[in-house]
Amino acid sequence: MFRIMGLRVSIERRLRSDSVRLMKIIAEAETAARDLVLGLPERDQVALVPLIEQERKRDRYHERAGLFEAILVGLSRPASDAWEQLLLKSMSGKEPGLMLPRLLQQLYRARRDADSYIRLEAVKPERYQDPYGTALLLHEAKRHEEALTWARKIIKGPRLIYSDGEFHQVAGNHQLRELRLLEADILDGLKRKDEAREARWKFFLESFDADMLRRHIAKLDDFDEFDEMDRALKLVASSDRIYEALRFYLDWPRLDLAEQHVLRHRSAWDGRRERALEPAAEQLGESSPLAATVLYRALITSVLDRSLMDSYADAAMWTLSLDAFDEKLPPDAPIVSHDDFMEGLETKHARKYGYWRLLSDARLYSEDLSQ
């Protein structure tokens, strides 16, 4: 299996184009090799460690980093100790790169060896550090003071994080939500209850994060939660951060308040905020066709006003939803009728032929399905 794995790099360099079948065979060999190694007796695992390390060094672009992590953390202690020594030797006397420290840290995390993990974390350039992962490890180890320092660590500028087999650049405040949730838990661990409660409430005010409010209320004394809940709802309702407020109502969930919120701000929704409005419209579609209609109309209007041809298919599907909602709208709805809305689109965007063609095709397909 390791010989088959070893062919990967040399074969890939000779291919004119990717071969799905060949890559599938090699991927299956890697999975089988991992399972075979982890199923061996300790003595045989130790004997295989030099071969595994040799294969790891061939992985110059870290395409199989996940495979080696899985093997390392799954090995018996004698075998992982033997491989740890080889990895530490590779790190000494030269630039270790990014993957060697990460591989060792995965081992230390699995062992809950916070000291060894932090030694490696502390010598990394700041933009490669992981404050959340480090704080979580320390918190789990009941080392709350150190954990709090890492949870509050501010990294300026862009950072690099490892995900899906490669490094990605993210903003310095990446995982801010997770860090704030963890910071409050750490303060609880330090028995600083008032500070933890204040931290949760402060972050809720900054973000309208429903989960943070749940955690905040869960820590209150009996009956205090009702007053605090009323206070939170009033603050959300009076805020001009309408998108964050909408997300809060949907996540809490209070779909009745979400409907009122959408209608109260019906002329303010910006269809360019598709990531916020589309999932909200989908979630509201069953309980409040009227609110969903308001949001879908904002999305459709934005696409057509900006002539976003790549989004015409989405706009056509949103219009199908409007067709379905039409009969469910109350007669006293504070918006123009579906027919009047569509007539307005035809008047203003008659020459957006791509949209109208896609809408016609979608309607015909929908009719065929219903029959």
The one-digit pLDDT tens for each residue of the chain (371 residues) are 888 877 776 777 677 666 778 878 888 988 999 999 999 999 999 999 999 998 888 887 777 888 999 999 999 999 999 999 999 998 876 655 778 888 999 999 999 999 999 999 988 888 889 999 999 999 999 999 999 999 999 888 888 887 766 677 888 778 899 999 999 999 999 999 999 999 999 999 999 999 999 999 999 887 889 999 999 999 999 999 999 999 999 999 999 999 999 999 999 999 999 999 999 999 999 999 999 999 999 999 999 999 999 999 999 999 999 999 999 999 999 999 999 999 999 999 999 999 999 999 999 988 877 76
Cα separation of 42 and 37, whole Å? 10
77-116 in b/e form (b: 16+ CB < 10 A) is: eebbebbbebbeebbeeeebebbbbbbbbbbbbeeebbeb
Cα separation of 56 and 75, whole Å? 15
Pair of tokens at residue 362: 């979608």
Cα separation of 232 and 220, whole Å? 14
Output the pLDDT for position 95: 53
Output the pLDDT for position 327: 92
Cα separation of 31 and 63, whole Å? 14
Output the pLDDT for position 164: 64
Give the chain's end-to-end CA distance (angstroms, integer): 54
Output the pLDDT for position 173: 78
Cβ-based neighbours of 280, under 8 Å, separated by 6 or more: 246, 247, 250, 258, 262, 295
Pair of tokens at residue 339: 């027919």
Whether the upstream peptide bond of residue 253 has omega within 30° of 0, thus cis, is: yes
Give pTM, 2 decimals.
Answer: 0.79
Output the pLDDT for position 182: 96
Taking residue 164's Cβ as centre, other Cβ atoms within 10 Å add up to 7
